[in-house]
Amino acid sequence: MLKPTLISLVLVSLLNACSQPESHSPTLTEASNTQIAQDYQHMLNRFVDVDMHTDLSALSKQDIQVLKKLIQVADILDVIYLKQTYENNAQIRKAIIDSNSPHQSTLLSLFDLHYGPWDTLEADKPFFGDTKRPDGAGVYPVDMTREEFNQWIAAHPEDEAAFKSGYTVIVREGDKLKAIPYSQYYATELQAAAKLMQEAAALTHDKSLRIFLLKRADAFLNDQYRDSEMAWMDLTGQLEVAIGPYETYTDKLFGYKTFFEAFITVRNPEDSAKLAVYKKYLTQMELNLPIQDQYKNLQRGSESPISVVDQIAGGGDNKPGVQTVAFNLPNDEYVREVKGSKKVMLKNVLNAKYQAIMQPISSLIISKEQQPLLMEKYFFNETLFHELSHGLGPGTLTLNGRETSVSEELKETYSKIEEGKADVMGAYNMLFLMDKGELPKTERQNMLVTYFAGLFRSMRFGIHEAHGAGAAFQYNFFKEKQAFTFDKQTQTYKVNFVELEMAISDLVKEITMIQALGDYQAAKAFLAKYAVLDDDVASINQKMASIPTDIKPHYPKL
């Protein structure tokens, strides 16, 4: 819990920032408060409100009842995620409510938007109080260092599996460290969520959904997730739901711990069927990677279904800050090796982002002569092939006779490396399918310009964030390879097509080899060199200041 002294410090810091001493003139105070109000409002304005619509007319009354239960589960995962992000978040929110700040309403909106008192678009800079966001979020002791964690495991090797598990919280008990399973640490919330999933399972006529919900409910109570991950791969009905602890982005200490989230969506069977053709090329895409055969992952499962869906609700890690447009799950390497992974495209979210953000960015930064080459189709396709590419390349590794994985070896660098890899490999694979005739060869330049423009949307998330860092290292690598030119007078970019294609291949090779070798030091050095904000990009970001950074979706109540 947040100690009273810490709450006091947070409030004093806020009040010092939001008011002036009595000796200052009222005019100065008013000016200061006005500027603070404008700064806070600017932070909110970076997210444009969008009313999301989904056609639910094909769903039965029972389907609607199932959805209502699952939305309740999503709300519970919201509560868990708030704790996972920072153990004292609830107390800090209460401190905002109890404060006398004239900006209380805006501060609450910002807190609820970012799930904490830190601006996720500005390297987690605090907007309330001055507490630094802990790298270990709320799943490690705030004062624990990487060295202490590693030293504990070295001294207590029997604890290694539990400490590195994605489903435990590390706590301090006196002078000892201890791993507590999620099912115990978040017992109240997970038991309530499991009950709702069991009730939803009893209502649905969809056998595959019933099996998944029951297995996932069991996993919430025993921390054994593999069976339910397998069952999730087999979902075939109209309701496509992902519920559980998945991504590790918020764990910036090691990238070990998973964070709870929920995607409640409705499948679009027609659009899903159109994209199914790409699945048959997954093995060929793996074989086509520009690395030696010994590093290619040809054992990974190839089921890899693709679902195009409309989202109707979300929870937990799915909701704060920048909105997810697609996901590729599960992350369990064993399940990926056996069954592959599923790619889920959130069509209504993608469309909203293209219209509100991507179109105005592209019209601002791409040279006039290449403007006609931009195509919404390739904004969608780059997202699809980004997700397909998450399932390609090294996954499980054998290093010096030891079985491990890319994510475990690359630690906190993994998310940034992997997101950038999926981006550039997505473009690489679209070029491959154009050579195969599955995508129109005549649209090669359309794809390249649209892909390049998309990097600027992601870089606005900040290089502290995985997708933003991944976009930045692509941009800087391509700059080094002279794959584009920048006109400082017009502040617009022009793609050099031949050079960009070569740079894409070179970057796929370099990143994939870092992963194949599990080379943590090489990953750190690569990010230090390339995952930086270029001066021209910083200037462009100022030029794009009036364009929203992302959307804030509002889903209708059922």
pLDDT exceeds cutoff 80 at 30: no
The Cα 166–Cα 182 span in angstroms is 9
Q: What is the mean pLDDT of residues 362-391?
A: 93
DSSP for 71-117?
A: HHHHHHHHHHHHHHH-TTHHHHHHHHHHS--TTHHHHHHHHHHHTSS
Is 394 inside a domain boundary?
yes
The Cα 429–Cα 148 span in angstroms is 42
Confidence of residue 361 (pLDDT cuts 50, 70, 90): very high
So what's the pLDDT on residue 388?
87
Q: Over the chain, what is the mean pLDDT?
A: 91
Is 159 inside a domain boundary?
no
Percent of the chain with pLDDT over 70: 94
The Cα 492–Cα 446 span in angstroms is 17
Residue type, 78: D
Instruction: Tell which wins on pLDDT, 271 or 288.
Output: 288
Phi, psi of 385 (to 5 degrees): -75, -25
Is 186 inside a domain boundary?
no
Percent of the chain with pLDDT over 90: 80
Is 27 inside a domain boundary?
no
**Residue 323 corresponds to which tokens in the numbers above?**
């909105």
Is 136 inside a domain boundary?
no
Q: What is the mean pLDDT of residues 371-377?
A: 94
- Contact between 341 and 327 (Cβ < 8 Å): no
**From the centroid of its chain, how far is CA 383?**
13
Dump pLDDT digits (tens) for 278-320.
Answer: 888 989 999 999 999 999 988 766 667 889 999 999 999 999 9
Phi, psi of 238 (to 5 degrees): -70, -30
Is 347 inside a domain boundary?
no
So what's the pLDDT on residue 237?
93
**Residue 397 corresponds to which tokens in the numbers above?**
């590794």
Dump pLDDT digits (tens) for 101-153.
Answer: 899 999 999 999 999 999 999 989 999 999 999 999 999 999 999 999 999 99
So what's the pLDDT on residue 53?
87
Sheet holding 239-245, edge to edge: 239-245, 260-267, 306-316, 342-346, 326-329
The Cα 520–Cα 372 span in angstroms is 42
Dump pLDDT digits (tens) for 427-470.
Answer: 999 999 999 999 999 999 999 999 999 999 999 989 999 999 99
pLDDT exceeds cutoff 90 at 175: yes
So what's the pLDDT on residue 11?
37
In this structure, how many other beta carbons lie within 10 angstroms of the beta carbon of residue 503?
Answer: 21
Confidence of residue 274 (pLDDT cuts 50, 70, 90): confident
Structural domains in the chain (count)? 1
pLDDT exceeds cutoff 80 at 31: no
pLDDT exceeds cutoff 80 at 193: yes
Non-local CB neighbours of 67 within 8 Å, separated by 6+ positions: 59, 239, 264, 312, 313, 558
The Cα 496–Cα 481 span in angstroms is 10
Containing structural domain, residue 520? 352-558
Q: What is the mean pLDDT of residues 518-533?
A: 97
The Cα 454–Cα 358 span in angstroms is 7
Per-position b or e across 270-279, b if 16+ CB within 10 A of its CB: ebbeebeebb
DSSP for 221-285?
A: HH---HHHHHHHHT--SSEEEEEEE---TT--SSS----EEEEEEEE-HHHHHHHGGGGGGHHHH
pLDDT exceeds cutoff 60 at 183: yes
So what's the pLDDT on residue 338?
87
Residues in the chain: 558
The Cα 96–Cα 113 span in angstroms is 14
Is 1 inside a domain boundary?
no
Residue type, 500: L
Instruction: Tell which wins on pLDDT, 70 or 269.
Output: 70
Is 403 inside a domain boundary?
yes
The Cα 199–Cα 66 span in angstroms is 8
Cα angle: 294, vertex 297, 303; to 5 degrees: 155
**From the centroid of its chain, how far is CA 179?**
25
Non-local CB neighbours of 150 within 8 Å, separated by 6+ positions: none
pLDDT exceeds cutoff 70 at 18: no
pLDDT exceeds cutoff 50 at 230: yes
Q: What is the mean pLDDT of residues 311-336?
A: 93
